Amino acid sequence: MQWEVVIGLEVHAQLATHSKIFSGASTAYGAEPNTQADLVTLGYPGVLPVLNQEVVVMAAKFGLAVGATVAPRSVFARKNYFYPDLPKGYQISQYELPIVEHGHIDLTLEDGSVKRIGITRAHLEEDAGKSLHENMGGKTGIDLNRAGTPLLEIVSEPDMRSAKEAVNYMRRIHQIVRYLGISDGNMQEGSFRCDANVSVRPVGQQELGTRTEIKNLNSFRFVEKAINFEIERQIEVIEDGGKVVQETRLYDSDRDETRSMRGKEEANDYRYFPDPDLLPVEISAEFLESVKAAMPELPQAKAARFAAQYGLKSVDIEVLTAAQGTADYFEAVAAGCDAKLAANWVTGELGAALNRDGLDIAESRIGPAALIGLLKRIEDNTVSGKIAKDVFATMWDEGSDADAIINAKGLKQITDTGAIEAAVDRVIAENPEQVQQFREGKDKVLGFFVGQVMKATQGKANPGQVNQMLRDKLNS
Amino acid sequence: MALTRKDIEYIAHLARLEVHEDEIPAYTDKLGKIIGFIDALDAAETGDLLPMAHPLNMSQRLRPDVVTAADQRDVYQQNAAEKEGGLYIVPRVVE
């Protein structure tokens, strides 16, 4: 039987505020346990939540970025459940009237076609604390620093049809929240994570199959692997004559499998009701206008502009616009030299060096101005592209500028025809066998000669010039 | 709407309240009466009225995004039954 996969994602993005959603406690990551848990976070009697304005701005930005309706009026609700990482006995969330509804993301699929994924809603809520079970002598330790950190939960329609599409969608959401500066998107620190709802049905069937929910996926790779495992598992269950049970499952990355979380499942009766401690949130047209005015250029618009303004290839554009920082860096370099050369170096040499050292482009050892300094020397033929790579490596390691390195190491390209000619003559004289081969029509041998001359000149000869001169001499 | 013994047990469980066997009939009766009041409210014509999220006819006041709370962990943890290394210690929660 042919199966169709149906996937919907709930993405949780921690909003990059300084203080918590309902109190003035810090949200900084990595502090000593409970040093950022104030009275509101701890759920002391008599305290009241006061909504952080920045959180509303951030949610509105997201809504605008995905073509959604930003609700003029939204309401906070209590989601009731007992768990020690949530001392109040309820999580403040939004239920019937979320702040953002009816948005979408357009995905470009592998075949180049565009597929629209619906965003049902995005609502604001508070994160819970952390429970630690290891080495606690049979007890549980609670750290409430994370409790009360603002989250935007972004719920998609069940529009995705493969794990690849789901990852593609999640990457786009990740890119957008980072462009907007509303979340740092740091998946290792849990700032960006998702739950995946997965079901399968026979191709052609309208009715949805029974779904399972895979919780807390915190890397793009895990999302893909967990969903693929779950698809296989569900198909196997059905083909063996069984039924998929609606349940919550956990992905175990060590074993690459999902496991049932049975037991925690009982009585999911959250008894949502409007939180009497919080008034409805009203967003005026003026407020929304001011948010709109402060919106940055978004990835898709930037990609279109890069194509029109710089005439770059779409592969390069994808890399350059993946993150705002990369795009800004590229534009700073392209302002000082040829844009295509800039694109090649930012996506190539620079990207590789950043990757190797695990650095963000903001932490690059070579800034845009320094890179321009190097690329200008390629443009004016002071160094060849190959030598430039060596200069780049030295700049990266030692931090000095291109000209200083070129001068100190004597890397200036030899443009003196006499010097090149001497090297060419010597190489031809030393390799009569290859000369013979070339004259018999083996054109490929030319590469050997070029290599020899470059070696003889320590790579400083202009390759174009060497090529021409070799051809002239060998053909004469 | 009449409540049953099952309803009372379920509500007590959700609220993590221990209700003794001999208290159940009284709760069934009293909570049932409260539900009865709600039935009376149901009779009111609400038509196109927007559900009321809050009795005050105001909107939420917003707070600037500034850290104002200093670390007072040691003070707060004086109220904790058990603590260790800055953590609040609770009975084991099985994942």
Per-residue model confidence as pLDDT tens digits over A417-443:
777 888 888 888 888 888 888 888 888
Residues A4, A161 contacting (CB under 8 angstroms):
yes
Chain B hits for A97, CB-CB cut-off 8 Å, are 53
Tokens of A249: 């499952």
Alpha-carbon span B66 to A308, nearest angstrom: 42
Alpha-carbon span A129 to A151, nearest angstrom: 13
Is B47 within 8 Å of chain A by CB? Answer: no
Q: What is the pLDDT of residue A432?
A: 86
Which tens digits make up the pLDDT trace of A244-303?
988 889 898 888 888 887 654 455 788 899 999 999 999 999 999 999 999 999 998 999
Q: What is the ipTM of this complex?
A: 0.88
Residues B27, B19 contacting (CB under 8 angstroms):
yes
Say which of B67, B84, B95 has its CB closest to residue A26.
B67
Residue with tokens 């590789």: A352
10 Å Cβ neighbour count for A111? 5
Q: What is the pLDDT of residue B57?
A: 82
In this prediction, the residues of chain A whose per-residue pLDDT falls under 70 are 262-267
* Buried residues in B14-24 as b, exposed as e (16+ CB within 10 A): eeeeeeeeeee
CB-CB under 8 Å, B66 with A279: no
A269 CA: distance to closest CA in chain B (Å): 8
Q: Does residue B95 surpass a pLDDT of 70?
A: no
Strand partners, B9: none
Residues A194, A185 contacting (CB under 8 angstroms):
no
Strand partners, A141: A132, B89
Is B76 within 8 Å of chain A by CB? Answer: yes
* Domains along chain A with CATH numbers: 3-289 (no CATH), 297-408 (no CATH), 417-475 (1.10.10.410)
A238 CA: distance to closest CA in chain B (Å): 28
Chain A hits for B87, CB-CB cut-off 8 Å, are 33-34, 132, 141-143
A53 exposed, middle or buried (CB, 10 Å; 0-12, 13-18, 19+)? middle
Q: What is the pLDDT of residue A278?
A: 95
Torsion angle, alpha carbons of A42, A48, A53, A57, to 10: 70
CA proximity to A122, closest of A105, A107, A92, A102:
A102
Which alpha helices (H) appear in A240-313, and where do they start and end?
285-293, 299-310
Q: What is the pLDDT of residue A183?
A: 96
CB-CB under 8 Å, A18 with B65: yes
Alpha-carbon span A371 to A350, nearest angstrom: 9
Q: What is the pLDDT of residue A262?
A: 63
Q: What is the pLDDT of residue A266?
A: 54
Q: What is the pLDDT of residue A441?
A: 83
Alpha-carbon span A34 to A31, nearest angstrom: 8
CB-CB under 8 Å, B94 with A139: no
